[in-house]
């Protein structure tokens, strides 16, 4: 902050509304006691709790007034601040913080000088101002308290939402444990079997031996299967939603299906695919996209549990419509009741029984899709099942 010891002429003061009606000799006294302050953008004029020393009048620039870190006012040229230290006798410290939003030119009038002119002996007007100030301070305190409380609740809600996302993902991972174990165990059995054969056969000539070559090919294929499954699982559990990359939609769907295929076969559910021949690339987070697919598959699986008289089928398809990628997950299950279909994307709403779901799966899906600038819709028929249709912009 740079200060001059005096103001060069009264015309700059009179241009401010506060001084426009003062007599010339009074205005001259103010000029003699006026200090010009030049303050750069970002600087602090004074802090809440600082000792009061005078009133500031804004000739140019903007000032933000805040209380306990909460902005409560923005003042512009012609406004003034710090006046409570003048009209209220016991206001010895600043009740708020003043911060420069622009380069400022301020006129500072000393506290002692200005009190001689505008306070003097107490009057009904002064008592009225005192009462108004007391009420205003209480109101400001209440508003600031409410704001800070809302801010705290908002941050807590955001953390709760992040934890719910993790909980939903961990719950779906838990249902896949048996399938993952089975899928990994199958290729491992092949590897161990052929390795044991190659190691224990004393008569086996390795070079050029067809059995050796066959065994090596099986081992290579089985090891590749393990690598693929582990990679798919790692992508799914990746908890970094800020990582946005170009994703091959068909490949991501297929890798998700590879993870769950055993569980669905075990439940006698047929997984069909109908992928467009076009290469579809979208921008997004691979783990989040897999979570969308996984949750939709899980919902379809649950909807098929009541089906006994016909084959259980889930079909996953892709297409391209103009500049949008299309993903469709449909089942031939029990469908969604008409009175509930408008509510299924609401948080904590579920059509499943008690202890069968959190009611957050579709809400999470909707949020992920919308974060990818996409849209999700659902159609359902009680006799034909449900179909979820997602559209996402092409990369």
Q: Which ranges of the chain does DSSP label H, i.e. alpha helix?
A: 11-14, 24-32, 84-87, 111-118, 124-175, 177-200, 210-237, 249-266, 286-303, 361-371
How many structural domains are present in the chain? 4
If asked whether residues 78 and 130 sit together in one domain, one would say no
pLDDT at res. 337: 83
Confirm whether 180 is domain-assigned: no
**Cα(first)–Cα(last) distance of the chain, in Å?**
51
Q: Do both 246 and 390 map to the same domain?
A: yes
Same structural domain, 206 and 246: no
The pLDDT tens digits for 242-268 are 678 999 999 999 988 887 887 888 888
Q: What is the CATH number of the domain that holds 74?
A: 2.60.120.10
Same domain, residue pair 27 and 140: no
Alpha carbon separation from 124 to 106, 137, 143 (Å, rounded) = 31, 20, 29
Asked whether 101 and 62 are in contact (CB, 8 A), the reply is yes
Same domain, 272 and 383: yes
Tell whether 324 is covered by a domain: yes
Q: Give SS3 for 153.
A: helix
Element (H, E) at 68: none
The CA distance from 72 to 13, in Å, is 26
Same domain, 189 and 165: no
| DSSP symbol at 1 | -
Least confident of 64-78, 131-145, 324-338, 372-386: 131-145
| Statement: residue 355 has pLDDT above 60 | no
Instruction: Please state whether 102 falls in left (phi above 0), alpha (psi between -120 and 50) or beta.
Output: beta
Please list the residues that pair with 3 across neighbouring strands: 37
Rounded to 5°, angle at Cα 186 from 182 and 188: 115
Separation CA 188–CA 222 (nearest Å): 7
Question: Would 308 be classed as within a structural domain?
Answer: yes
Q: Looking at the structure, do residues 197 and 221 belong to the same domain, yes or no?
A: yes
Rounded mean pLDDT of the chain?
78
79: pLDDT strictly greater than 50: yes
How far CA 54 is from CA of 104, 114, 255, 386, in Å, comes to 17, 8, 70, 71
Inform me whether the pLDDT recorded for 306 exceeds 80. Answer: no
C-alpha triplet 65, 72, 137: angle, nearest 5°: 95
Query: Are residues 191 and 162 both part of a single domain?
Result: no
CATH of the domain at 294: 3.30.565.10
Query: Residues 286, 329: one domain?
Result: yes
Please tell me whether residues 283 and 344 are part of one structural domain: yes
For 303-314, the DSSP string reads HTTT--SS-EEE
Q: In terms of domains, do 226 and 158 share one?
A: no
Would you call 148 helix, strand, or coil by DSSP?
Answer: helix
Minimal CA–CA distance to 163: which of 299, 364, 356, 355?
A: 364
pLDDT of the residue at 122: 47
Non-local (6+) Cβ contacts of 79 within 8 A are 57, 58, 63
368-383 pLDDT per residue, tens: 899 899 999 999 887 7
Beta bridge partners of 378: 388
The H or E element spanning position 22 is: none
111-137 per-position pLDDT tens digit? 778 777 665 544 444 554 555 566 566
Residue ranges making up the domain that contains 219: 185-237
Are 85 and 111 spatial neighbours (Cβ–Cβ below 8 Å)?
A: yes
246 and 391: one domain?
Answer: yes
In degrees rounded to 5, what are phi and psi of residue 238? -60, 120
Is the pTM above the cut of 0.75? no
Torsion of CA 141, 109, 107, 94, to 10 degrees: -20
Q: How far is CA 98 from CA 46, 91, 131, 134, 172, in A?
A: 6, 16, 24, 20, 52
What pLDDT digit, counting tens, does each position of 328-342 carry? Answer: 999 998 888 888 888
């Amino acid at each position: 902050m740079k200060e001059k010891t005096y103001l060069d002429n009264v015309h700059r003061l009179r241009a401010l509304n506060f001084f426009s009606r003062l007599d010339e000799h009074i205005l001259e006294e103010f000029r003699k006691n006026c200090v010009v302050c030049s303050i750069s953008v970002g600087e602090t004029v004074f802090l809440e709790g600082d000792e009061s020393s005078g009133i500031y009048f804004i000739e140019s620039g903007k000032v933000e007034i805040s209380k306990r870190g909460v902005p409560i006012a923005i003042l512009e040229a012609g406004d003034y601040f710090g006046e409570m230290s003048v009209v209220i006798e016991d206001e010895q410290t600043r009740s708020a913080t003043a911060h420069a939003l622009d380069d400022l030119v301020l006129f500072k009038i000393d506290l002692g000088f200005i009190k001689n002119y505008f306070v003097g002996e107490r009057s009904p007007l002064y008592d009225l101002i005192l009462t108004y100030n007391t009420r205003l301070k209480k109101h400001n305190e209440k508003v600031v308290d409410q704001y800070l409380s809302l801010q705290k609740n908002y941050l807590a809600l955001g953390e709760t939402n992040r934890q719910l996302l993790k909980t939903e993902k961990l719950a779906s991972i838990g249902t896949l444990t048996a399938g993952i174990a089975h899928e990994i165990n199958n290729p491992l059995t092949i590897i161990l079997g052929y390795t044991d054969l190659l190691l224990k056969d004393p008569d086996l000539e390795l070079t050029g031996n067809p059995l050796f070559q066959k065994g090596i090919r099986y081992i290579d294929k089985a090891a590749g299967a393990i690598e693929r499954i582990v990679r798919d699982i790692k992508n799914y559990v990746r908890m970094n939603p800020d990582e946005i990359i170009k994703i091959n939609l068909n490949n991501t769907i297929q890798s998700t299906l590879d993870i769950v295929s055993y569980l669905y076969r075990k439940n006698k559910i047929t997984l069909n695919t109908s992928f467009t021949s076009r290469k579809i690339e979208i921008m997004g987070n691979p783990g989040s996209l897999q979570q969308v697919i996984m949750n939709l598959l899980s919902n379809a699986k649950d909807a098929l549990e009541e089906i006994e008289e016909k084959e259980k089928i889930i079909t996953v398809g892709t297409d391209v419509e103009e500049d949008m990628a299309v993903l469709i997950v449909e089942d031939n299950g029990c469908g969604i009741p008409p009175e509930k279909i408008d509510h299924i994307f609401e948080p904590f709403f579920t059509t499943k029984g008690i202890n069968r779901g959190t009611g957050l799966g579709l809400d999470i899906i909707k949020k992920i899709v919308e974060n990818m600038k996409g849209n999700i819709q659902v159609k359902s028929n009680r006799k034909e099942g449900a179909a979820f249709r997602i559209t996402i912009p092409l990369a």
